[in-house]
Structure 1
Amino acid sequence: MLAKKTTKRASILVFTLMILLITGCNKRFLGFKFSPREVLTIEEVKYDYISTRSKIKYKNGEEKTKATANIRIKKDSLIWFTLSNGVGIEGVRGKITQDSVIVMDRIHRQYAAYSFQELNQRFQFEFNYAIFQAIIIGDMPIPITKNDDIVEKNNNFYVTQRVSDLRVSSMVSSKNRRLENLFATTLRNDNTLELKYGEFKPLEEKPFAYKALMVLTYFQEGKKEEAEIDIEHNRVKIEEESLSFPFSIPDRYDKVK
């Protein structure tokens, strides 16, 4: 009688362990199928303030510039930067907010200020603050929603999004769950923006792209133009305390268009 009770208890115990094992294991391994939307999670960098020291190369047609950049970001609020030449002389200081871009030329005592609406009209492309922040940080500029098309292919996730006048196609690596490529095109013309990220290294246990390339292709007066910004971060630091963003335009500076 005791043996029967012991056997029954053992069977119940084994059954319970099997249930726990099944519910705790990777369901994909056990044969259950999940949609790419359920599997995809993005490894976003967690920060309130972040700073970088970077090398930047800019090319637009025959115009070419190299500079050392100091960049400071208050997440989703403000991007501040300075550009210096090879001997450390600051030539440019700028800031990007949620509604405008202001750049100050300290050598020629000039400045340019654009709202995003003016910037979009000039380049015939839907720029916004999130795109500029994404260029530097490498996060998705548009949050994933239930309306997006997500496909898993060749060990990567491909996300297609439609926002306002933009159609955005992104590739997220299944290895590090970070954005590696983004291609955005406007629906009313052939203007495009392409972002490429590489050389991922840990930043407080999160993968961070220390190289980023932006290529903007646009048309002005029927002529195809291409602007390229190549960024290589030498140092990236998530700041524990708030940063300062000193920026003021002297009265003697002339505004340029």
Structure 2
Amino acid sequence: MLAMLVLFSSCNKRFLGFKFSPREVLTIEEIDYEYISTRSKIRYKNQEDKTKATANIRIKRDSLIWFTLSNGVGIEGARGQITRDSVIILDRINRNIYAYSFEQLSEQFQFEFSYSLFQAIIIGDLPVPLSKNDDIVEKNNNFYVTQRVRDLRVSNMVSSKNRRLENVFATTLRNDNTLELKYGDFKPLEDKPFAYKALMILTYYQDGKKQEAEIDIEHNRVKIEDESLSFPFNIPDRYEKRQ
């Protein structure tokens, strides 16, 4: 019995013939941080509307996303913040303010947006935390996690090699609007693999016409900060609110 105890505690159970369900095997290497900052290149495309910018992004986990957008010569054109309930963007060139609650943003694009989704896009973590109700399948060296959250059906692909999210496909159940996320160029960030490239493709219908918006993010620098960051943001009185 002592020999069996040593054997079972020191040997891999797969080798001994035991089978595990994908749920028991799946572990995700989430980034451990309280504050994180990036310097990134962002390209945006929506039909004929195209633009690119250099972004400085700062995040306080599960609380606040702050960013600035600058042109090629370093002139800041926009500054924004995303909180748990809203998105506010200052157009510093035209002195305008764009402010949306997540309810307004979701209604405009007929897709359920949230703070957690924006944070997950930047960091590369699961937009929806794992739960016991999720369907998890292991196939072709990857884990496929299917989730149902209110109006959304979310399909995630997690690599079995680096245990990081590589693809997300979310669709609304009441229409044909979809959101796809693709991650690549994984490099070590401290002791965890981090995706230095992310592509978001939002497909939605507006006035009966199919629209497609793309945001391509390439991080040049990512740093987990040891100390708290500042998030300078104030709204000048002379700025005009726009929708």
Moved over 2 A (4+): 15-19, 21-24
What stretches of structure 1 of length at least 5 have no aligned partner? 1-14
State which of 148, 161, 181 in structure 2 corresponds to 1:195. Answer: 181
Structure 2 counterpart of 1:191, one-letter code: N
TM-score (norm 2): 0.99
Is 1:145 the counterpart of 2:140 in the alignment?
A: no
Match of 1:84 in 2: 70
CA offsets, 1:39-81, max 9 Å, x none? 0011000000000000000000011001000000000000000
Report the CA distance between 1:18 and its aligned residue: 4.2
Percent identity over the alignment is: 79
Report the CA distance between 1:16 and its aligned residue: 2.5
How many residues are treated as equivalent by the alignment?
Answer: 243
Is 1:180 the counterpart of 2:166 in the alignment?
A: yes
> Equivalent residues in 2 for 1:162-173 (5 A)?
162-173=148-159
CA distance in 2, matches of 1:139, 1:61: 28
Aligned-residue Cα RMSD (Å) equals: 0.8
Is 1:59 the counterpart of 2:49 in the alignment?
A: no
Report the CA distance between 1:28 and its aligned residue: 1.2
State which of 132, 153, 167 in structure 1 corresponds to 2:118. Answer: 132
CA offsets, 1:166-201, max 9 Å, x none? 000000000000000000000000000000000000
Match of 1:109 in 2: 95
State which of 199, 213, 218 in structure 2 corresponds to 1:227. Answer: 213
Report the CA distance between 1:205 and its aligned residue: 0.9
Match of 1:205 in 2: 191
CA distance in 2, matches of 1:30, 1:127: 46
CA distance in 2, matches of 1:36, 1:229: 32
CA offsets, 1:93-123, max 9 Å, x none? 0000110001110000001000000000000
Secondary structure of 2:137's partner? strand
State which of 227, 234, 238 in structure 2 corresponds to 1:248. Answer: 234
TM-score (norm 1): 0.93
Higher helix share: 1
The answer to which of 112-121 and 18-27 deviates more is 18-27
State which of 225, 236, 239 in structure 2 corresponds to 1:239. Answer: 225
Report the CA distance between 1:25 and its aligned residue: 1.6
What stretches of structure 2 of length at least 5 have no aligned partner? none
